[in-house]
Amino acid sequence: MERANASPMPADTARKSSENIVYIVDDDETLRRSLGSLFRSLGLRVESFASTREFLLFDRPPLPSCLVLDVRLQGESGLAFQAEAARAGLRLPILFMTGHGDVQMSVNAMKRGAVDFLTKPFREQDMVDAVTEALKADANRIEAERAVSGLRAAYELLTPREREVMRFVVTGMMNKQIAANMDIHEITVKVHRGQVMRKMQARTVPDLVRMAEALGIEPHRA
């Protein structure tokens, strides 16, 4: 790893750095220590492992994180682990590093979802930049998943009739049209519609449409 004065993280990232974790998997202890020192100097939490098996046994908290992974490990392949992790639903960003990389190897890694591929010796700043972007992407993923989880909890509060009304509302139908399709009184639709908007905390119909899309709810077709 080529030494350089790594630029500090942006202020908004630095403030949250203690909430971020960088996992390092490399069988080279010297490199693990060097990278660990670099990341800790930026205020990041670091967890290092000599093998992917050790990494998988670690109890990972639900915090923004990324994995800095060597392509060639003793007795195993980082690329093979990437595929295994994808099948297992492990969703944290992976940055590869290698001293034996070639163009095809990096292309394969990126196609499988790797966020970067650094060839040793790499500049510290290049690693810092890659990790910063990976942590930001994972933070956005976690935030999006939490938002959907909140929407799902709100949707569970709806009665079966309210859910049916919601599916009509997101098509843009007026209360009178919905009443005709459901064979109920228009005032009843209005009440259910109000309950849907309140429980889902939707201020407008477009808000409700976006929520339905996020939850994968299909609009009710007449």
Residue range 8-43, pLDDT digits in tens: 445 444 445 558 999 999 999 999 999 999 999 999
User: What does the alpha-carbon distance between residue 147 and residue 199 come to, in Å, rounded to a whole number?
Assistant: 15
Task: Look at the alpha carbons of 12, 16, 21, 24 in this order and tell me if their dihedral is positive or negative.
Answer: positive
Question: Which DSSP string do the residues of 168-193 spell out, in sequence order?
Answer: HHTTT--HHHHHHHHTS-HHHHHHHH
Domain 157-215 class in CATH: mainly alpha
Q: Is CATH 3.40.50.2300 the classification given to domain 11-149? A: yes
* Residue 15: predicted pLDDT: 46
Cα(74)–Cα(51) distance, integer angstroms: 8
The residue among 18 and 156 whose pLDDT is bigger is: 156
Q: Is 156 exposed, middle or buried (0-12, 13-18, 19+ CB in 10 A)?
A: exposed
Please give the angle made by the CA atoms of 16, 64 and 44, to the nearest 5 degrees.
50
Q: Is pTM beyond 0.85 here?
A: no
Is it the case that residue 4 has pLDDT exceeding 50? no
Other C-beta atoms closer than 10 Å to the C-beta of 68 total: 27
Q: CA gyration radius for the chain?
A: 24
Does residue 88 register a pLDDT over 90?
no
Looking at the DSSP bridge assignments, the partners of residue 96 are 69, 117
Question: Residue ranges per domain, the chain?
Answer: 11-149, 157-215
Residue 143: exposure state from Cβ atoms within 10 A (0-12, 13-18, ≥19): exposed
Whether the CB-CB separation of 82 and 93 falls below 8 Å is answered with: no
